[in-house]
Structure 1
Amino acid sequence: MSRAELPRPDRKPLIALVDRANRALQSHMVRMAHLRGHPEVKPAHNSVFGTLAEEGSRAIDMAERAGITRQSMGEVVREMVGLGILEMRPDPADRRAKLVTYSEHGRAVAADGYGHLVELEQRFVAEFGAAEYEIARDVLGRIAGLLDDWAAVEAGAAASGE
């Protein structure tokens, strides 16, 4: 019995390029946190820094925004509470739920990270030029939007039995 040949793209797929850029950015942010005096920051913490609203968020909402399970987000949040980066308190809108917020130390860590993101954006503009960098940002945003739209259409078609 012969094996079917797998179809292969003739160049590196976009998903591989985006994944590589994402991993490089994520590890860069952690490395810079360490260099800026925050050695407790780990790669898993990026899922919190990228989803925690300044006024606080529920872990379940953060998990959804990060695309990870509630259990995984809960584990990261508990670790960051233990490190003094986050605090948990009752959610004023629903006393049964917990609201995750930054501690004072966590606000300093997040502020350093956001400041570095601004610096990175400036470096990318200097490297690629403002117009080219804006095109890259626009295209990535449009790709994400298209994929979300297509997923919604496919989910609707599946629900209606088409």
Structure 2
Amino acid sequence: MNGSREFMIGALLSIPSFDLSARVHHRLHSRGFREITDSNSTVMKLLGPEGDRITELANKAGVTKQSMGYLVEQLETAGYVERVDDPIDARAVIIRRTKKGWAYTRAAAEEVAKLQEEWTQLLGRAKMKELKSLLAELVAKLGHHYEGSYLEAVTRPPGQRRGSQARS
């Protein structure tokens, strides 16, 4: 890096994040998951292992219920999610992954792991470990709860998510 130039933290965080998302999306498309858009992939990342209500998904994504409903409808039409009755509130429905949705999630986790290994080869193991440690520290100091990646959380079997109870 050029020592006389100050690099903006936003770009330094955004560029690798964008690169990761774009490359994973391309690889998943090559694996046959062609119906998933960038917006749809965000929904799939945010969807908990036991499923979520549309309002919960909308809150996680920072969008309106209507916008989230539209995205969920696209995923439902493509066969990635389904609506089931909420056992806790008969007025509500839960959006959860189908077998196809779980296959997508597992494939995404595999591709992220491959790219992380590629980055490790570029930086070296020690620097990659340090990078992850510094980012985890920043996330914690910003007051965000982090238990691993969304994909790590959602690939765990239902009822085994860290820090939560399965819906009965």
TM-score category, normalised to shorter length: 0.7 to 0.9
Instruction: State which drifts further: 33-42 or 47-56.
Output: 47-56
In 2, Cα distance between equivalents of 1:69 and 1:38 = 26
What does residue 123 of structure 2 align with? 128
Contact preservation (8 Å) 1:26, 1:46 = no
TM-score, structure 2 as length reference: 0.74
Residue in 1 that maps onto 2:166: none
Q: Which amino acid aligns with 1:14?
A: I
Structure-2 change in CA distance of 1:107 and 1:14 (3 Å): same
Q: TM-score, normalised by structure 1?
A: 0.76
Number of aligned residue pairs: 140
Runs of 4+ in structure 1 over 4 Å off:
none
- The partner residue of 2:104 within 106, 109, 123 is 109
Bigger CA radius of gyration: 1
C-alpha separation in 1, matches of 2:74 and 2:136: 31
Name the CA distance, whole Å, in 1 between partners of 2:58 and 2:134: 25
What is the CA–CA distance in structure 1 between the aligned matches of 2:140 and 2:66, rounded to whole Å?
Answer: 27
Higher helix residue share: 1
2:159 corresponds to = none
The structure-2 alpha-carbon separation of the partners of 1:64 and 1:137, relative to structure 1 and needing over 3 Å to count, comes to farther
* Pairing 1:93–2:88 present: yes
| Deviation string, structure 1 residues 37-77 (Cα, Å, up to 9, x no partner) | 11111111121121112221222222333333333222211
2 CA distance for matches of 1:50 and 1:128?
26
Deviations 1:99-135, CA, capped at 9 Å, x for gaps: 1111121121111111112222222222222221121
**Structure 1 unaligned regions, length at least 5:** 1-9, 150-162
Match in the other structure for 1:39: 34
Structure 1 residue corresponding to 2:62, chosen from 59, 67, 74: 67
CA–CA distance in 1 between the matches of 2:44 and 2:65? 16
Residues 43 and 14 (structure 1), Cα distance of their counterparts in 2 relative to 1, 3 Å cut? same
Moved more, 57-66 or 76-85: 57-66
Q: Which has the higher contact order (CA 8 A, sep 6+)?
A: 2
Sequence identity percentage: 25
1:68-93 superposed Cα distances (whole Å, 9 cap, x missing partner): 33332222111111111111111112
2:21 aligns with: 26
2:84 is paired with a residue of what secondary structure? strand
Query: What is the RMSD of the two structures over their aligned residues, measured on CA atoms?
Result: 1.9
